[in-house]
């Protein structure tokens, strides 16, 4: 059997091409039904239904020459990208392509000639390749979505806010890793230059855990700010975090640390020559020392 396959692949191939041409409506209709059944409950059946005839035509074109394959690949990539965005599972996406195999098989069965059966094996291999291609595109599209979201998250999570003339603050929220610290550091230093601030408050109330690496990142940020001529205060250290830091033996050296953002602001105001009157828990009145 295998020998005949390699000797006469063209006959089977021609037969399949013929069948695809003659039974176009029937195969297409069946394919649509199968695809719809696979992705039952999803809202965009119309979208896929519109794409399948195009793909069908492109597939037939692709038999005529290698250069036409890019058309087919383009259409399939579009299909899997849109499916990835709409939240289909990879299996559903690949099955949309594999459905064609099933649809054609019914035609081949009716035809019943040995050429058609041999050709079907060849055809099945092509569809498998296309299915894998769809899968790859799907995965790539998903990956891109994840990367985009991570970038957006990075932008969202690192605002630099101005608290007072000459005092800026960075409220850090979420886990700190090297990439995020790099962004925070750059943004903070840039803000120091732009606003001409000599005091910065790094608030780590929203940081769930501090390990040696996070502490190292914080220290680096403070050192960099110092090199530029600005002083940093680290605030928002929760009791557990203070405990962890001491247990780990991390030395913050001469860097000022405060329990709350309010304390850090009061410290920065004092350092920049603003006098804070009144006791801490009553209303705070402020005046600048000199105009």
Partner 1 sequence: MDRVPVLKLGDVLIVSIQVDLQDQGVLALQEDLADAVVATGARGVIIDITAVEIVDSFIGRMLATIASISRMLDAETVVVGMRPAVAITLVELGLSLGGVRTALNLEKGVALLNSSEDTQIAAAAR
Residues that bind partner 1 (CB under 8 A): 182, 185-186, 189-190, 192-193, 196-198, 220, 223-230
Cβ–Cβ under 8 Å, residues 117 and 15: no
Tokens 């929220």 belong to residue = 173
Nearest to 31 by CA among 41, 20, 42, 22: 20
Cβ–Cβ under 8 Å, residues 204 and 218: yes
The smaller minimum CB distance to partner 1, of residues 54 and 198, is found at 198
Segments of the chain assigned E as strands: 161-164, 167-173, 199-206, 231-235, 256-257, 274-277, 285-288
Query: How, if at all, do strands 274-277 and 161-164 pair?
Result: unpaired
Closest approach, Cβ 279 to partner 1, in A, equals: 30
Nearest to 203 by CA among 213, 188, 224: 188
Closest approach, Cβ 255 to partner 1, in A, equals: 12
Closest approach, Cβ 216 to partner 1, in A, equals: 11
The smaller minimum CB distance to partner 1, of residues 58 and 168, is found at 168
The smaller minimum CB distance to partner 1, of residues 85 and 226, is found at 226
The smaller minimum CB distance to partner 1, of residues 75 and 222, is found at 222
The smaller minimum CB distance to partner 1, of residues 96 and 189, is found at 189
Closest approach, Cβ 184 to partner 1, in A, equals: 11
Closest approach, Cβ 225 to partner 1, in A, equals: 7
Euclidean distance between CA atoms 247 and 113, whole angstroms = 79
Euclidean distance between CA atoms 84 and 140, whole angstroms = 9
The smaller minimum CB distance to partner 1, of residues 87 and 229, is found at 229
β-pair partners for 276: 286
> Measured on CA atoms in the order 53, 119, 103, 131, is the torsion positive or negative?
negative
Closest approach, Cβ 248 to partner 1, in A, equals: 21
């Amino acid at each position: 059997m295998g020998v005949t396959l390699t000797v006469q692949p063209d006959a089977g191939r021609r037969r399949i091409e013929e069948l695809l041409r003659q039974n176009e409506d029937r195969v297409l209709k069946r394919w649509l039904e199968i695809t719809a059944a696979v992705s039952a409950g999803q809202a965009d059946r119309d979208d896929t239904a519109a794409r399948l005839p195009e793909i069908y035509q492109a597939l037939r074109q692709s038999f005529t020459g290698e250069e036409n394959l890019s058309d087919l690949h383009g259409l399939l990539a579009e299909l899997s990208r849109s499916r990835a965005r709409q939240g289909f599972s990879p299996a559903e996406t690949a099955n949309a392509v594999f459905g064609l195999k099933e649809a054609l098989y019914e035609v081949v069965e009716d035809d019943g000639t040995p050429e058609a059966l041999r050709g079907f094996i060849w055809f099945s291999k092509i569809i498998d390749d296309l299915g894998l291609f769809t899968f790859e595109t799907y995965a790539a599209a998903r990956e891109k979505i994840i990367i985009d979201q991570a970038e957006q998250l990075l932008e969202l999570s690192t605002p630099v806010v101005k608290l007072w003339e000459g005092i800026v603050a960075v409220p850090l929220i979420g886990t700190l890793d090297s990439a995020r610290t790099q962004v925070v550091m750059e943004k903070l230093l840039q803000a120091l230059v732009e606003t001409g601030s000599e005091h910065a408050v790094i608030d780590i109330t929203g940081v769930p855990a501090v390990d040696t690496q996070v502490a190292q990142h914080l220290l680096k940020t403070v050192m960099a700010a110092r090199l530029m001529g600005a002083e940093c205060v680290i605030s928002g250290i929760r009791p557990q975090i203070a405990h962890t830091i001491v247990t780990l033996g991390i030395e913050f050296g001469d860097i000022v640390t405060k329990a709350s953002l309010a304390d850090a602001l009061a410290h920065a105001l004092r350092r920049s020559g603003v006098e804070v009157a009144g006791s801490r828990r009553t209303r705070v009145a402020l005046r600048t020392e000199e105009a």
